[in-house]
Structure 1
Amino acid sequence: MPVPRDSRSANGKGLRPSKTQATESTRGEAVRAMESQETDKEENSQAKRSPSSPQGAPRKRSAFGDLTNAHQNQPTQSKKEVVKGTAKKVLRSTVAHDFSKNNEINLKKSGPKSLAEEASVSSEPTVKEGLMPVQEREEPVPVQKGPSVQEASGAGQPGPSEQMPRMENIEKVEEDPYIGAEYAKEIFKYMRKREEIFPISNYMVKQHDISKDMRAILVDWMVEVQENFELTHETLYLAVKLVDHYLMQVVCLRDKLQLIGSTALLIASKFEERCPPCIDDFLYICDDAYQREELLSMEINILHTLNYDINIPIAYRFLRKFAKCAHVNMETLTLARFICELTLQEYDYVQERASKLAASSFFLALKMKNVGKWTRSLERYSGYRSTDLFSLVKRLNFLLTYQHHDKLKAVRTKYSHKIFFEVAKTPTLDMLKLEDILKNSV
């Protein structure tokens, strides 16, 4: 009787494979599975790896880091990592069991043409020859540009490094690519020159339907909007500047004043914010007093009146530079910001230059905290001597001591919070005491 085909044994006489063949095939499948899993694992790590982080950790907005810091060490390292990962990926897929020492030959022989050419053009030897290593590029920087401790305090003896501009010395290569430390000197000079292009005259003379108090109420409301929408302080300062420059050229009616303020905030948000609020949000904060078409028409009108040139220097940016030059803590800087922000709603300060207003606010904050003097470094960096700021410092101290608008407390309430170190509660200087301090500062 013939034996059924399915009942034959797996000893090589039947149709089933032998034990040795099954073991070899199983082992081969396991090896291929491990290789594919390892390749997928590396691809995932390359996809998650941020090109702006040398450690390979995920980082938000990495593309911006590449744009603003293209010549720094971080993109160089990420380029090496990508090249290494690409080379390994091609070698695994083509030469599974033979690792040759010459990567370019292996890639040209067995890898895809486009991928092999990319790896051969941007391989590690090319990177080392074309770009200087990080240590070699950054070691000479502290020797040439790094300020000494005595120079930072303004009490050192003249030396070789003092011949270089202080604006260039205090700038260091920062980890944050948004700071733009490499261009800080040129940016600062450029903004100082632009101050001369944007003078503000006494425009309230020709405004017959609005007054200084109405403007103060508008700015106080704009401060509340900035807090509610969590906008940056640069947006607030720029919006107030836009309002002043527009009112300087156009006669405004009182029922359109809030529309001008909300539209200025919209334009400043588009200029300063990463995610500006939408138009409906600005209509909502106006309690639907205006239509969408009115807001859009006012936006076009403001931009056309200002010739679409809205990069106006503001005092807030100068404050940050002065604080970095003096090496003060965050509480002192916040106090200076509070003093400077109080001037936004005061019409008497609209004709002051932004850099001088920032310097005077910072000078008064230093004296209120008793943390330093107006050093030679600050004079060189700001362009103002201490004697140039005395009259404006006295006015600012008077503004702190005697409130002109008792009902408008948005700025004082804002800086009374713990987040801002409650700097609004800082005791003010007596006017006679300030006079003595200024005399001793000469």
Structure 2
Amino acid sequence: MPTLRKQSVAAVGKKTKPSLSENQEEASRVKRATSTSRGAAKTRTAFIDLTNSTKVQISFPGKKKELAKKQVKKRSASCVSAKKTAKQNGTSSETSAEKSVKNEDKAETEAAAADKLETAVSEVPPHLRRPEVPAEFDIDSQYSEDCVMCPDYAVEIFAYLKQREEKFVLSNYMTTQPSLNKEMRSVLIDWLVEVQENFELFHETLHLAVKLTDHYLAKTPIHHNMLQLVGTTSVLIASKFEEYSVPSVEEFLYICDDAYTKEELLAMEASILRTLSFDINIPIPYCFLRRYAKCVNAGMDTLTLARYFCEMSLLEMELVVVRGSLLASGCLLLAMLTKDLGGWSPILQFHTGYELSDVAPVVWMVYSMMSQLPKDKLSAILSKYSHKVFFQVASLPMVDVEVLEKALSR
């Protein structure tokens, strides 16, 4: 596999500045009139027109029901009055009485509809009801004023992500790849970490790229000469999904040392997307890790240590079969035990949905992987997390095995 080359900077040509007359002509075409035909100042009512703010009336099933009942009573009284008038005035008033009866029937129908609507609202199916979060497990109310944190929907969002995980369960697919082995995959992912660092991509992009690579290889046998192309193209797709600014195709070809052509990369992109049915929103452990760390108010150093474990797990074929939410739980628990911050707590069990017996096997797998970490090769992640930006967590000693056994045997 060619070594990673530094990103080149392309020269950007200067655009000619339009003349003043051109700008004035353009402005005259798009600028709205600021006054009416009579010359008076135009009232700015655009927002009122758009939102109908003067006409908006919010009603609820209960209030609608009460209003309908009041209308029934009012129309019933008018109907009785109309009938009395009909008796006094003869047949000429019969039409008015009939109209009142029709109005009464209509009001009764509206009241019945209101009753039906209220019953439908109260009988929402269990799977559509908002989950009730006990006060001691509420980690979102503190962000009630921050819409970016989605405090009103956070619980449902992560419940939905856990449901989607069931669609993306992987197995050890190396048995279906006659030209590949797990060592080749590890070398590829180690190189992808360098690509992520070189392009300064988000960590989510790296994790999603690895997921795309694994899911494609699980369905499509390839020759080992094409493995780097699959990984590179997966980073390109993940960048389009996660990044604000996506590296160009030419830059991806450059870091591959021009081993592939533009046509080959674009063809591989189409192949990956078709194979995955364009469903690339795969839940990754990185997003679960941030959520679960919030449950225990973990500091940035503890969260970074858990992210280090999580990123190292990308190299292990044995951990491909583990769901992202469960892997995140195991990495966080191992980081907490390493930092002596306690073990598995009820709030973690509530938000993750996993008991200690579910998380313990994953913790042991990650611990075994970290204890047998090769120092001479596949060192991209090790070097990355040895930097002071990442609190040099890669240099921290692992938790003692006796402490680990005691914490996981409760």
Q: Please confirm whether the aligned pair reaches a TM-score higher than 0.5, indicating the same fold.
A: yes
The structural deviation recorded for 1:396 is 1.1
2:139 to 170, 173, 177: 170
Within 2, Cα distance between the matches of 1:358 and 1:111?
61
Within 1, Cα distance between the matches of 2:248 and 2:163?
33
Total equivalences in the alignment: 306
Within 2, Cα distance between the matches of 1:309 and 1:373?
36
In structure 2, the partner of 1:377 is: 347
TM-score, with length taken from structure 2 = 0.69
Gaps of 5+ in 2: 1-33, 59-130
The structural deviation recorded for 1:282 is 0.4
**Residue pairs, 1:389-400, within 5 angstroms:** 389-400=359-370
Please say if residues 167 and 185 of structure 1, whose CA atoms lie closer than 8 Å, have aligned partners that are also in contact.
no
The structural deviation recorded for 1:130 is 7.8
Amino acid at match of 1:278: S
The structural deviation recorded for 1:295 is 0.2
Matched, 1:111 2:47: no
The structural deviation recorded for 1:207 is 0.8
Within 2, Cα distance between the matches of 1:265 and 1:388?
32
> Matched residue of 2:219: which SS?
coil
Query: CA-to-partner distance for each residue in 1:286-321, whole Å, 9 max, x for gaps?
Result: 000000000000000000000000000100000000
2:244 to 252, 255, 274: 274
The structural deviation recorded for 1:118 is 3.6
Please say if residues 165 and 283 of structure 2, whose CA atoms lie closer than 8 Å, have aligned partners that are also in contact.
yes
Query: CA-to-partner distance for each residue in 1:375-407, whole Å, 9 max, x for gaps?
Result: 111100000112221121112112112215741
Matched, 1:210 2:180: yes
Matched, 1:242 2:172: no
The structural deviation recorded for 1:109 is 10
2:390 to 394, 403, 420: 420
In structure 1, the partner of 2:310 is: 340
> Matched residue of 2:333: which SS?
helix
Amino acid at match of 2:311: E
Within 2, Cα distance between the matches of 1:316 and 1:264?
17
Within 2, Cα distance between the matches of 1:295 and 1:281?
12
Please say if residues 360 and 393 of structure 1, whose CA atoms lie closer than 8 Å, have aligned partners that are also in contact.
yes
Query: CA-to-partner distance for each residue in 1:89-127, whole Å, 9 max, x for gaps?
Result: x8xx99xxxxxxxxxxxxx99422xx344477699x969
The structural deviation recorded for 1:349 is 0.5
1:312 to 282, 285, 292: 282
**Residue pairs, 1:5-404, within 5 angstroms:** 110-112=40-42, 115-118=43-46, 164=133, 169-172=138-141, 173=143, 177-404=147-374
> Matched residue of 2:153: which SS?
helix
Please say if residues 137 and 347 of structure 2, whose CA atoms lie closer than 8 Å, have aligned partners that are also in contact.
no
Within 1, Cα distance between the matches of 2:40 and 2:48?
13
The structural deviation recorded for 1:250 is 0.6
TM-score, with length taken from structure 1 = 0.64
Please say if residues 172 and 317 of structure 2, whose CA atoms lie closer than 8 Å, have aligned partners that are also in contact.
no
In structure 2, the partner of 1:25 is: none
Please say if residues 249 and 262 of structure 2, whose CA atoms lie closer than 8 Å, have aligned partners that are also in contact.
yes
CA separation of 1:438/1:298 partners in 2, compared to 1, >3 Å: closer, same or farther?
same
1:407 to 356, 374, 377: 377
In structure 1, the partner of 2:112 is: none
CA separation of 1:427/1:408 partners in 2, compared to 1, >3 Å: closer, same or farther?
same
Within 2, Cα distance between the matches of 1:119 and 1:279?
43
Amino acid at match of 1:183: Y
The higher relative CO (CA closer than 8 Å, separation ≥ 6) is in: 2
Please say if residues 338 and 398 of structure 2, whose CA atoms lie closer than 8 Å, have aligned partners that are also in contact.
yes
The structural deviation recorded for 1:238 is 0.4
Query: CA-to-partner distance for each residue in 1:232-282, whole Å, 9 max, x for gaps?
Result: 000000000001000001111011000000000000000000111110110
> Matched residue of 1:181: which SS?
coil
Within 1, Cα distance between the matches of 2:395 and 2:389?
13
Within 2, Cα distance between the matches of 1:119 and 1:311?
36
CA separation of 1:117/1:176 partners in 2, compared to 1, >3 Å: closer, same or farther?
closer
The structural deviation recorded for 1:181 is 3.1
The structural deviation recorded for 1:200 is 0.8
The structural deviation recorded for 1:368 is 0.4
Amino acid at match of 2:326: K
Please say if residues 137 and 350 of structure 2, whose CA atoms lie closer than 8 Å, have aligned partners that are also in contact.
no
CA separation of 1:436/1:297 partners in 2, compared to 1, >3 Å: closer, same or farther?
same
In structure 2, the partner of 1:72 is: none
Please say if residues 166 and 381 of structure 1, whose CA atoms lie closer than 8 Å, have aligned partners that are also in contact.
no
1:429 to 394, 399, 404: 399
